[in-house]
Amino acid sequence: MANVLIIGGGIIGLSSAYYLQKAGHQVTVLDKGDMLDSCSYGNAGMIVPSHFIPLATPGMVSQGIKWMFNSKSPFYVKPSLNPDLIKWGLKFLKKANADHVEHSAVPLTELSLLSKKLYEDLSAEPGFDFDLVEKGILMFYKTEKAAEEEAHLAEKGRELGLDMAVLSADECKQLQPKLALDVLGAVHYRCDAHLSPNKLMAALIKYLKTAGVKLLSNTEVTKIESKEGKVTGVIAANQKFTADEYIIAGGSWSPAIAKLLKINVLLMPGKGYSFNVTDDSDTMQIPALLAEARVAITPMNGGLRYGGTMELDAINSRINMNRVKGIVESVPKYFPELQPAVPEQKDIWFGFRPSSADGLPYIGKSKHYSNLTIATGHGMMGLSLGAATGLLTSEIISGKATTIDIKAFAPDRS
């Protein structure tokens, strides 16, 4: 059994630690923060096999250009001469074609369905109560254009074996009679689910500590040593850590970590915002996605969590209130009686989604170092794909055949 060092204590790092420990490995996790407020905590908690279309799509290019000029839009790329952003943008443009979408659908679906099954298994384990609810997700739309696009996606989803149904406004109303609607209809992604990310992360941390996994917070990696194609040690917080196998699972910080080894992991941080509103009225019981507004709403912990936006920029601590207002203002257009107030700045959570240029995660061995595995780049689906990525990472390090084919996720793909 191997001694494994994981850099990154978000959902990917902790899920990898969980499955590695179960496989009998000795595991240490290093994280630059306190492991209590990563991107894994503030997300919408959605498990989404329905999301088999990568970010890089033909329509996203023209739509993205239009959104660039709207300060409240759901997607924004801050213009910059940053060479990484330019490289990312060129690859995004190269991959934004129908062939890429077609070739990505099966591997993304397989990864998502594996993850959902693993979350179901995990929720049955003692100590893992994280409010997993399998009522699906409703993708609401207001325009004929969105209705047509969503119906087409639902048809593709059914071809992939996913349970999806196109509903009229009346059929939506029957599912949640208390929720006032102003929509044309919705696609019910019955294959999807949701959970409480805060409870999941707390349960993972508690289990790992009890199981003897070393979790070292506020331990930022500053140097990585290597020799003859192998990683030989990691310097963090003035200590040296050595292991047999190393994993980079640092989310949006992964490119900076990889650069310590002179390798390039092409990612851009996509800032997203969320905020919680106490709501015990039970009017919304099924999570909602707002098609045109790109907003997510999830019933969670006795309230509703609102989230959205994708702001590609360097990692920073700025809160763009216009984007938060964009989320707030979109909600009553779909649900007239849901009128969240603009939250105070202190109540707004933000995090950075590690977004690969082609919309697929990186999962696999690095071709540069024989004992280095990379597990990052999940974009908005880090939580959704966390369990599957953890299992696959454990299988890679254990030298086992992986449960699904991971060629599409190769870290060194072109």
Boundaries of every domain in the chain? 3-409
Are 362 and 407 spatial neighbours (Cβ–Cβ below 8 Å)?
A: no
Q: Which two tokens stand for residue 269?
A: 């941080």
φ/ψ of 147, rounded to 5, equals -60, -45
Are 42 and 307 spatial neighbours (Cβ–Cβ below 8 Å)?
A: yes
Cite the DSSP H helix spans in 177-320: 197-210, 254-259
Residue recorded with tokens 């995990």: 122
Give pLDDT tens digits for 24-67.
999 999 999 988 776 677 899 999 999 998 876 656 656 656 66
pLDDT at 82: 82
Q: Which two tokens stand for residue 84?
A: 């990484």
pLDDT at 282: 85
pLDDT at 243: 98
pLDDT at 63: 67
Q: Which two tokens stand for residue 393?
A: 């990472």
Give pLDDT tens digits for 228-257.
999 999 999 999 999 999 999 999 999 999
Amino acid occupying residue 353: R
pLDDT at 187: 98
Give pLDDT tens digits for 122-150.
999 999 999 999 999 999 999 999 999 99
CA dist., res. 107 & res. 261, Å (int): 29
Checking if the pLDDT of 186 tops 80, the result is yes
Is the torsion defined by CA of 199, 132, 15, 101 positive or negative?
negative
Give pLDDT tens digits for 69-108.
566 777 777 777 788 888 888 898 899 888 888 999 999 9
| 355 SS3 class | strand
Are 256 and 105 spatial neighbours (Cβ–Cβ below 8 Å)?
A: no
CA dist., res. 85 & res. 314, Å (int): 9
pLDDT at 89: 85
Is 152 exposed, middle or buried (CB count within 10 Å of its CB: 0-12, 13-18, 19+)?
Answer: exposed
Tell which CATH architecture fits domain 3-409. Answer: 3-Layer(bba) Sandwich (3.50)
Q: Which two tokens stand for residue 53?
A: 């279309």
Q: Which two tokens stand for residue 107?
A: 């591997």
Partners of residue 376 on adjacent β-strands = 362
CA dist., res. 321 & res. 324, Å (int): 5
Q: Where are the beta strands (DSSP E) in 163-238?
A: 164-168, 185-189, 193-194, 214-216, 221-227, 230-236
Looking at the chain, the whole-number percentage of residues with pLDDT higher than 90 is 82
